[in-house]
Amino acid sequence: MKKKTSKKLSLLGSGATKIPKSPQSVALETFENTHPGRDYEIVFDCPEFTAICPITSQPDFGIITISYIPDKLCIESKSLKLYLFSYRNHGAFHEEVINNILDDCVAACKPRRMSIVGEFNPRGGISIIVSAEYVAGGKKKK
């Protein structure tokens, strides 16, 4: 994951959109929080998340919810969309996906608090829910 903080966002309004090949090739863009003195929550919901099972190469479908309290920066939603879409061809276990998303989003915007929840559709009769949390000045919790 590349980090890009800019007053000028390069993806928003750029026209044609290409889906990146991997999460490492995506720049999560940010913009300045206009209310840094206030705690407020931003929630992103991705109900059509897709990744690939690293063992079977079968698609895994789920819902990813990202909730955070920004500090100085906010994540720009189009760059986040492209980042999440990049998992469509990326092989990883659910636990790895959620923890990588948390690490990359925290690195991009350095929030006060962030949580990521992945609710994955059943495979073999079992659904999996994975959550991870970051608290500034603390440790990540599962």
CA distance 15 to 21: 19
- Residue 78 identity: K
Establish whether 74 is a catalytic residue.
no
> Is 60 within 8 Å of 140 (Cβ atoms)?
no
- Catalytic choice (39, 45, 46, 53): 53
Report the SS3 class of residue 99.
helix
> Is 76 within 8 Å of 31 (Cβ atoms)?
yes
Residue 87 token pair: 């998992």
Query: Comparing C-alpha atoms, which of 142, 120, 7 is closest to residue 65?
Result: 120
Establish whether 109 is a catalytic residue.
no
For 21, phi and psi rounded to 5 degrees? Answer: -80, -25
- Catalytic choice (46, 60, 74, 104): 60
> Which residues are part of the catalytic machinery?
53, 60
